Structure 1
Amino acid sequence: MAVPTEPDLIVRGGVVLTLDGAGRRVSALAARGGRITALGDDREISALAGPHTRVLELEGRTAIPGFIESHNHPVFFGFALAAPVDAGSPPNDRIADIAERLAVAVREAPAGEWVRGFRYDHTLLADRRHPTRHDLDPVSPRHPVVLTHVTGHFCTVNSAALALLGITAATPDPPGGRIERDASGEATGVLVETAAFLVNSQLPRPDEETLAHALRLADREFLANGITTVHDTGTGLFGGTGELALYRRLSASGELRTRVRSYLAHQAFAGADGRMPTPGELGAASDGERFRLAGVKIIADGSIQGRTGCLAEGYHQHPDEHGMMLQSPERLAEMVADVDAAGWQAAVHGNGDAAIEAIVGAYRHVDSAARRHRIEHCQTVREDQLDRMAEQGVLASFFVKHVYYWGDGHRDLWLGPERARRISPLVSAHRRGIIYGLHSDTPVTPVPPLEGVWCAVARRTRDGHELGPEQAVDVERALRAYTVDAAHLTGEEGETGTLEAGKLADLAVLSDDPTAVTTEALRTLRVEATVVGGEVAWSATGELSPAL
């Protein structure tokens, strides 16, 4: 019996932007068994169809490689989507608005149950400060409450939570963190960096179904924004080591449609001796195309907008403050060496240039080019540090959306004009041949990769000012950073990231050609459909032509 060779899927009738090395554009492609089998014009590709071939009509729209989100937190994102308290801005203008939402959630929660809120951003509140226990206690005197900052680097708890956590005036600051205190020495409820991480570790561990629900919510949002692969840079931060088995189960069952590349949170998976198990010990050999272990995530410093990112020079309006390292440079070098020796790729969070200096220094002692070690966010990297990154083969994933969401604050409050204009220096990195991805760090900023493309091209702040236009890239360069170059970060540029025969049939259908619209129109392009492995995983209309 002959084996059928007809395509499972044909995409035709528009622009297919391959992003291959030659910049090829065609109007149609065919896929079978989850991979692209042919590209060409409508007539030649349609001629391949058989009786069971399904057709996705572009109707003049544009297909591009599926977006690859190179730094994200799916569980954190899903929790934020499902949270009983949305503490973000918008919708909240003041701390009092958050307290009103909290009061509603407290009334509906069983007695003594923890109440959680997500996404508050003190820099966007009219109060210009973090909420404290004094704001939370009047509406939640008995329920323990924790509000997690949009960055994840801070949280605020009420008095009931402080009591359960055993935090008093006598409790010392943990290494790499801080318990904020009032003039009398009492805890205000604001917990910084490792102190905030400690709270998450002490909260009741979410059950498997709660975690699964969070991942399903995040998965839907990723697909609706054209994302076909996401790098989870912190697996285990919320659900512990059990997140690994859950990911594998949901991916194998098809409940998660996006491909996941997992970077294990070092603090969740390292043993009592601080050492990481090997990929083999965690069953990496059994992983497939949908879910793969990629590396280990380490956090070196905090966030610039929270003044915990570690800077060589002081903060613009607080010149005596330099932020903080969560690991000493010596300990960071030990951790990187252990991760490398265990056979992992390292992904180290570094926002401030002092932290980036320590990361580049740690990578000097390992073969970064072979492992494709990377720096996450890489926000204030200097020119001399980019030189050494290029020499050592260190990769980067830039959090380019900082330009829009906090660029005004960087310029006026935290970094000053000169340092601020150089955040996410994409042109400087590209000139040196450094391969980089772009990301949203969701839920820190909204998901849409097209917004990230716009940020990289326009370099505009929330208030409408240009910030470092000399670091703006063109549309195709930004698209490559969200596709094939992001695939390079996990060594998968031969499998995905461009639309070529033999590669995975992962693509996004956009309402228009992003290389042919104005810069401002980039933000308003719509994702019309998302295809993963040759299957339409999401569609704005749910429509797909029947078999020919």
Structure 2
Amino acid sequence: MKRIAVAIIVVLLVVLGWRLLPESNEVVLYPAKGVVTVTGTDHMAEAVVVEGGRILAVGSREALLDAHPKAKLDQSFADQFIVPGFIDPHIHMVLSSIQYAVPTAPPWPMATPDGIKAGYPTREAFFARVREVEAEAKAGEPLVIYGFHDLVHGPLDRHDLDAVTTDRPLIVWHYSSHDFYLNSAALEWAKIDASLHEKFEGVPLGDDGLPTGRVFEDAVPHLLETLGGILMNPFKVKKGLDGFSHLLREGGVTTVADLGYGAFGLRLEDLNIKLNWQSPEHSGYRLYLVPEHRAFEKKFGDKRVETITDMVTGARGTPAPVLPQVKFFTDAAFYSQTMRVSEPGYLAGQSEGSQGLWVIKPGDLAAVIAPYGDAGLGVRIHSNGDEAQTATLDALAELRTRDEDLRFVVEHGGLFSPDHVAKAGVFDAVVSAASHYVFYLGEAYQEPLGPERGQWISPLASLSAAGVPVTLHSDAPLAPPLPLLAASVHMTRATREGGVLTPSEKLSPYEALEAITIDAAYALGLEDELGSIAPGKRADFTILSENPLEVPGAAWPDIKVWGVMLDGKKKPLDHAEN
């Protein structure tokens, strides 16, 4: 009963508390070159009727004109295609605000608010970029540069960074966001010494008994005690979030979910949202929040579940609506080779000889999740490596014995063996896949993983065939929040080197469109409100120059986005015509 009550309250909040409906209930009919409803592979329409921010009817132009003779006829999209509003179900607001505001040296071309920035695909190019940024920065101040990747740029330690400068704290931020590399001045500045090796797994020591300069995973919060004030400068954060919001609008995104609410501290995150996001009307996209288990456990202890349910119902105020879901972590990061993999572990790279890290021990997962599930809260669980997938799906099997209806979404899902795919189908998992693993690291990971595990990266076609709803997310800022680009990668399975990874795992065009619309809505638990064009749903649309179902997958990123409609209100891009 409690699950039903929470669900009813969430619907009421969505419908009443967080709607941005036009003041007028004017009925408007929008003819289009085509309306892609995503309600069936052969379901197309010619027009849609909107009233009060909701979809009233969908069908042929003439039939709708006959049925609604008093409707206002709006020809704005007569030469465009209307599709359901794109959804990115897993982003990070504060992290995006930070990373889009710091200088970058990425290993591959990176989409930014200012356009595509060049990648630095060799060690020499990377260090040339680091020296360039360091020379231009104000003397003596701590400097953070984002984008290093060891599988592209090679190993990195404090000696390499001391060769760049010893006159300032220099911190290089790994592309994964989970690892930092510090020069000697930065180690001293952040008070990181050999004594911390016993306290944290994430402070490795070199042969000289001193920190190598790498700080990762469990040691990052200690680093942020010093570094946080630099990264979270309010002026830089505002600039970064403005840029992030611009990218979302360029990509035709109407809805996002921040997976990790509380991880940077509720006070900072709430202030960031209140000042910079403010509202869908102001920002042009809808934002939902998903609390992170560890952050809420640390802050609220035994009151953590009650606190989250109070946020969901509105009894405790939040700057954006909180979904009845909680974020968990089974293992660590795909990008930095700290995800938990099976024996013999990593065969190359910075984690060679190890199996990666657990965040929640396998035997504890079900017990940690159960109190939240009992309160009617769904699961969004970060689970990347194949050994992590075993633990995650074992926990799901155990949880299914107490709750058949628990919404359980595996986040990222870096590696799935055929056995994992079958088990995900049997136990009704959902997979919200990282959009970018195949393209960025599909080839680079073959040596570290070996030939068998290397074929298990994001097998979305197999998961879909097993009956698993599959969606795509950017995990922004780790990849650009551009759904057409994300979908394109999984229709082509293209890699950045020009190859194709496991072509048998290509999604069909319709599956790819579902992955950024209705299946994304399903991952959020909002499939009754968003994700397809059907009567009663929100009038959230993305307006495109072409029908994506008639365009080759490789060309999806070239489809022009006019803008969006949000609750029936037109929001064109700055360069689009009203």
Tell me whether the two structures share a fold, i.e. TM-score over 0.5.
yes
C-alpha deviations, 1:355-386, integer Å up to 9, x for none?
A: 11112222333346523121111121222223
Q: Which residue of 2 aligns with 1:117?
A: 145
Distance (whole Å) between structure 1 residues aligned to residue 353 and residue 424 of structure 2: 29
Amino acid at match of 2:379: A
Residue in 2 aligned with 1:156?
Answer: 181
How many Å separate the matches in 2 of 1:101 and 1:87? 14
Give the stretch that moved more between structures: 276-285 or 472-481: 276-285
1:106 equivalent in alignment to 2:137: yes
Q: Is the 8 A contact 1:307 1:315 kept in 2?
A: no
Matched, 1:349 2:373: no
Change (3 A) 1:342 1:25: same
Distance 2:301 2:133 in 1: 38
Does residue 322 in structure 1 map to residue 350 in structure 2? no
Aligned partner letter, 1:291 = P
Q: Which residue of 2 aligns with 1:269?
A: 296
Deviation at 1:95, TM superposition (A): 3.4
* Cα deviation, residue 227, structure 1: 1.0
- 1:1-150 equivalences in 2 (<5 Å): 5-7=25-27, 10-21=29-40, 23-43=42-62, 45=64, 55-59=75-79, 61-87=80-106, 89=108, 90-93=118-121, 94-104=125-135, 106-107=137-138, 112=141, 114-125=142-153, 128-130=154-156, 132-137=157-162, 140-150=165-175
Q: Secondary structure at the match of 1:181?
A: coil
Q: 1:139 to 1:427 in 2, by over 3 A?
A: closer
| 2: CA distance, partners of 1:284 / 1:213 | 32
From the superposition, tell whether residues 92 and 533 of structure 1 become closer, same or farther in structure 2 (CA, over 3 Å): same
Conserved 8 A contact 1:305-1:414: no
Q: Identify the match of residue 435 of structure 1 among 466, 469, 494.
A: 469
State whether structure 2 residue 528 is matched by structure 1 residue 504: no
Structure 2, unaligned runs of 5 or more: 1-22, 109-117
1:118 aligns to what SS in structure 2? strand
> 1:229 maps to what in 2?
255
Q: What one-letter code is carried by the residue in structure 2 that aligns with 1:280?
A: T
Shift of 1:336: 1.7
**Structure 2 matches for 1:486-525, cutoff 5 A?**
486-525=520-559
Shift, 1:317, TM fit: 2.7
Q: Deviations over 1:466-519 (max 9, x none)?
A: 211111120101110111011111221111100112111111122211111223
Q: What amino acid maps onto 2:478 in structure 1?
A: V
Which of 329, 345, 370 does residue 299 from structure 1 map onto? 329
C-alpha separation between the residues in 1 aligned to 2:271 and 2:299?
21
CA contact (8 A) 2:88 2:473 kept: yes
CA distance in 2, matches of 1:526, 1:124: 32
- In 1, the alpha carbon distance for the partners of 2:491 and 2:237 equals 36
Aligned to 2:192: 167
Name the SS for the 2:204 alignment partner: strand
TM-score by length of structure 1 reads: 0.88
Distance 1:338 1:145 in 2: 43
1 CA distance for matches of 2:452 and 2:387? 17
Residues 283 and 317 (structure 1 numbering): CA distance in 2 closer, same or farther, change over 3 Å? Answer: closer
| Residue matched to 2:211 | 187
After TM superposition, list the pairs within 5 Å mapping 1:395-474 onto structure 2: 395-411=430-446, 413-474=447-508
Residues in 1 aligned to 2:568 and 2:319: alpha-carbon distance in whole angstroms: 13
1:264-284 alpha-carbon deviations (Å, 9 max, x no partner): 223322236755243233364
CA contact (8 A) 2:433 2:458 kept: yes
Three-state SS of the structure 2 residue aligned to 1:124 is helix
- The answer as to whether partners of 2:311 and 2:322 remain within 8 angstroms in 1 is no
* Structure 1: runs of 5+ lacking an equivalent: none
- What letter is aligned with 2:179? F
1:7-34 per-position Cα deviation (integer Å, ceiling 9, x unaligned):
3x54333111010146421122232322
**Aligned mates of 1:382, 1:144 — CA distance in 2:** 43
Residue of structure 1 equivalent to 2:416: 381
Q: Per-residue deviation at 1:138?
A: 5.3
8 Å Cα contact 2:289/2:320 also seen in 1: no
**Which one has a larger percent helix, Structure 1 or Structure 2?**
2
Instruction: Provide closer, same or farther for how the CA distance between residues 105 and 188 of structure 1 changes in structure 2, counting only shifts above 3 A.
Output: farther
Could you list the per-position Cα deviations for residues 121-178 of structure 1 after superposition, in whole angstroms to 9, with x for gaps in the alignment?
Answer: 23233xx223x33343455545434332111121112323322332112322545x42
Structure 2 counterpart of 1:24, which letter?
A: H
Alpha-carbon spacing, 1:10–1:142, altered in 2? closer, same or farther (3 Å) = farther
Distance 1:382 1:327 in 2: 21
Query: Which residue type is aligned with residue 91 of structure 1?
Result: G
Tell me whether 86-95 or 179-188 shows the greater mean CA deviation: 86-95
Q: Which residue in the other structure is 2:282 paired with?
A: 255
* 8 Å CA contact 1:376, 1:396 repeated in 2: yes
Superposed displacement of residue 49, structure 1: 8.3
Q: Which amino acid aligns with 2:333?
A: S
- For residues 39-87 of structure 1, what are the alpha-carbon distances to aligned partners after superposition, in whole Å with 9 as ceiling and x for unaligned? 233455567587987552241x322111111222232122222214555
CA distance in 1, matches of 2:380, 2:97: 22
Q: Distance in 1 between matches of 2:572 and 2:565?
A: 7
SS at the partner of 2:197? coil
CA shift at 1:455, angstroms?
A: 1.4
**Paired residue secondary structure (2:382):** strand
- Contact kept in structure 2, 1:200 and 1:238, CA below 8 Å: no
In structure 2, the residue matched to 1:335 is: 368
> Counterpart of 2:314?
285
More displaced 10-residue stretch of structure 1: 63-72 or 308-317: 308-317
CA contact (8 A) 1:260 1:291 kept: yes
Greater mean alpha carbon deviation, residues 216-225 or residues 46-55: 46-55
Q: From the superposition, tell whether residues 509 and 272 of structure 1 become closer, same or farther in structure 2 (CA, over 3 Å).
A: closer
- Aligned mates of 1:320, 1:159 — CA distance in 2: 27
Q: Cα gap change, 1:470/1:33 in structure 2, threshold over 3 Å: closer, same or farther?
A: same
